[in-house]
Structure 1
């Protein structure tokens, strides 16, 4: 980038399996984000992000309640394309910390829960033409359900997912009524790492590589990692109040399913990469999830195995 003189670098929250990322500070104290893909699949994701960010016209950007990155340069590296983005002061905040912040900002101009709900609602009312013109995926509810069923088959094939979870997910995926919803433009990869927070305010939303027309519930799945259920429920309520049409009644149920099923997707990815650490982590988290669901009564308790009677010494 002509005229850019880097003076410092900071870590940047990202998917470390697919990307190398960093924040660069230049001599004029401006910030830039660099994302380098580690594999062809990640490169495709960055190309998709490039397309959608180009579709955000100046007029649309001006109407958004948050900033979105601008790609200001790129460079080929090892046959893959590395991108340079504009970046704003601020940093991601852990989801439980976001919940803590929300109590201090509730009802004010910087109500963080209201800002999160508003950001999601804003994306969900984008015109679908933005996605279509960028040649990004457009899914129906049935296509989304079928894609998840195919992933469930892959999870079964690993032989490492607890049976209670498999039965629970299969039942939900086969409940056609759960999948009667209006597909909308979604961010697709929304989580706390993609919310840039400065002075308890959302200043920027990043990570637009998974944008598509899909299930609105997917943009809420990350909230189920929060230990504060009141924070999560409030965001759902605020979102419903801000949407021009009421969302479907099963929005929360599908968001919870996506949150749980994300562990199986992590397992599948680890198996594909032959990454023993990823697989071990995924298996541990899946076992913990099943135990937790049994404890709260969502899954039936594990049947107690009967110990064999003591065999007589005279036998």
Structure 2
């Protein structure tokens, strides 16, 4: 589904109509931020607001099937709303618009545009509450959902495998390879338990009202694994005080904290480019490969 914004809107309108949603064409707004889905928000002729996700590639459909199953399990356990998929087909996933606005969007020029203060009390406390609820879900409830389930040992083994694959395919900076190797070898960084994680908790995936999180979107990367996966972005992007406040709220809600959590998050963030490298290899897209190469060897 390539083309101008007008062409994209026409495509969204057509596909929605094929599934019984009659959209007001003047209200269709397409967001290109997602790597796996194009997302549109639009109002029907009867005045209801909907979110429509259109897959960029066929390979995302199996993961979407898993995501839809997981959402039905998670919804009763967390305070923020999660998407209620009313339409789920190979060419369209659609659900009623959730309350709030994204904490982060991109402009037409691809520049980040912030809509919330992630270091505010409201955001940090609501994030801590949400993560304590999410991580408190018994992993046994989601074992059969189709998401990846890994023990702490398997989490580290997966990092070893992913880094090895990326370093075999890309020219990776020596200092990054050395940093990641030291991180993987040092036991004290790593938590000795696994939890259900969202996988990409950052402001573009959280809806907010008055800086408090009201909904959490895009559960494609959910897995049972390292809880730091859900703290990583906040550790780097928020103020140190806000991060500590979030952890205090998380602990008050029953979340478990280990001594080197903050350092572990920083090391994990340094390996963020590994995931992008794997994505580039998976899609075979030359533009993504070039961008991943730049992240993996920024001094080249």
- Residue 123 (str. 1) matches residue 134 (str. 2): yes
- Residue 174 (str. 1) matches residue 188 (str. 2): no
Q: Which residue of 1 aligns with 2:6?
A: none
- Following the alignment from structure 1 to structure 2, what is the Cα–Cα distance between the partners of residues 10 and 248? 43
- Deviation per CA, 1:78-111, whole angstroms, max 9, x where unpaired? xxxx2112222432123994773644xx3xxxx1
- Retained in 1: the 8 A contact 2:103–2:116? no
Query: Normalising by the residue count of structure 2, what TM-score does the alignment of the two structures yield?
Result: 0.80
Q: How many pairs were matched up?
A: 274
Q: Which residue of 2 aligns with 1:192?
A: 203
Root mean square deviation of aligned Cα: 2.8
- Residue 261 (str. 1) matches residue 280 (str. 2): no
Q: Which residue of 2 aligns with 1:42?
A: 60
Query: Normalising by the residue count of structure 1, what TM-score does the alignment of the two structures yield?
Result: 0.76
Q: How far has the Cα of 1:159 moved from its partner? A: 3.9
- Retained in 1: the 8 A contact 2:87–2:95? yes
Corresponding residue SS for 2:221: coil
Q: Which residue of 1 aligns with 2:290?
A: 280
Q: Which residue of 2 aligns with 1:301?
A: none
Q: How far has the Cα of 1:250 moved from its partner? A: 2.7
Q: How far has the Cα of 1:6 moved from its partner? A: 1.3
Corresponding residue SS for 2:149: coil
Equivalent positions of 1:86-235 (< 5 A) are 86-94=96-104, 97=114, 100=117, 102-103=119-120, 106=121, 111-226=122-237, 228-235=239-246
- Following the alignment from structure 2 to structure 1, what is the Cα–Cα distance between the partners of residues 279 and 89? 28
- Residue 11 (str. 1) matches residue 21 (str. 2): no
Q: How far has the Cα of 1:45 moved from its partner? A: 1.6
- Retained in 1: the 8 A contact 2:232–2:265? yes
Q: How far has the Cα of 1:172 moved from its partner? A: 1.1
Corresponding residue SS for 2:101: coil
Structure 1 residues 145 and 120, CA gap change in structure 2 (3 angstroms): same
Q: How far has the Cα of 1:44 moved from its partner? A: 1.6
- Deviation per CA, 1:268-295, whole angstroms, max 9, x where unpaired? 332454434323333433445x89xxxx
- Following the alignment from structure 1 to structure 2, what is the Cα–Cα distance between the partners of residues 91 and 40? 29
Corresponding residue SS for 1:40: coil
Q: Which residue of 2 aligns with 1:294?
A: none
- Following the alignment from structure 2 to structure 1, what is the Cα–Cα distance between the partners of residues 163 and 74? 35
Q: Which residue of 1 aligns with 2:10?
A: none
Instruction: Determine which of 70, 82, 89 is the counterpart of 1:75.
Output: 89
- Following the alignment from structure 1 to structure 2, what is the Cα–Cα distance between the partners of residues 277 and 135? 30
5+ residue gaps, structure 1, are 292-315
Q: Larger Cα Rg: Structure 1 or Structure 2?
A: 1
Q: How far has the Cα of 1:144 moved from its partner? A: 0.5
- Deviation per CA, 1:121-159, whole angstroms, max 9, x where unpaired? 110001223212424322100001000000111122134
- Retained in 1: the 8 A contact 2:31–2:40? yes
